[in-house]
């Protein structure tokens, strides 16, 4: 994509979010939308992360707490199911792991360079309630 310099842009310029003119965008899921290259959905902030959340489907109860509290729209939830994490947009803040109510947590922060499968094999056991 060709970018214009600050002195080439006209005052009042518009950045389009989509390639087509669809006024019913709220009815389309993210994968069905025709994003323009100027939409930040096409960009990535993956290099911001030091730690990444790893998602364990076996423990998840689909409560969607992580979805509602994610600041970066990085939790993929479709049809009331939690599907996973959008690693292009996740900044690794760790809120999702913090608000996860299950025991053990179904989202745990691991070091960015760790492999997801290795992380899943190291998943902690269920903790007993302390009396």
Partner 1 sequence: MSKIIKNLKQFSTSNDRFEGAHLLCPGCAHSIIVRELLNCTDDNLVIANATGCLEVCTAVYPHTSWDASWIHIGFENAATAASGAEAMYKTLKRKGRLKEPDKPVKFIAFGGDGATYDIGFQFLSGAVERGHDFTYVCLDNEVYANTGGQRSSSTPRGASTTTTPAGRVSYGKKRYKKDMVAIMAAHGAPYVAQVAPNKWKDMVKKYQKALSTEGPVYINAMSACTTEWKFPADQTIDVSDLGTDSLVFPLYEIENGHKLTITYRPRNIVPVRDYLGVQGRFKHLFKKENQHIIDEMQKAVNEKWELLQRREEAGI
Chain residues that interact with partner 1, rule: CB under 8 A: 1, 3, 9, 15, 17-18, 23, 25-30, 33, 37-45, 48, 62-65, 67-74, 77-80, 86, 88-95, 97-99, 109
Nearest-approach distance from CB 80 to partner 1, in angstroms: 5
Round to whole Å and give the CA distance between 13 and 120: 47
Q: Classify residue 26 by its DSSP letter.
A: G
Q: Report residue 82: phi and psi, to 5°.
A: -90, 120
CA max distance for the chain:
68
Nearest-approach distance from CB 128 to partner 1, in angstroms: 24
Residue 18 vs 123, nearer CB to partner 1: 18
């Amino acid at each position: 994509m060709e970018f214009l310099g600050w002195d080439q842009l006209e005052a009042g310029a518009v950045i389009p979010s989509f390639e087509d003119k669809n006024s019913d965008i709220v009815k389309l899921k993210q994968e069905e939308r025709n994003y323009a290259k100027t939409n930040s959905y096409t960009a990535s902030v993956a290099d911001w992360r030091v730690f990444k959340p790893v998602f364990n489907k076996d423990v998840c109860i689909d409560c969607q707490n992580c979805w509602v509290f994610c600041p970066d729209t990085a939790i993929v939830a479709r049809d009331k199911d939690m599907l996973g994490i959008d690693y292009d947009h996740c900044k690794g803040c760790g809120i999702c792991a913090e608000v996860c109510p299950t025991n053990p947590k179904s989202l745990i922060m691991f070091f960015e360079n760790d492999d997801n499968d290795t992380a899943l094999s190291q998943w902690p056991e269920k903790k007993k309630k302390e009396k």
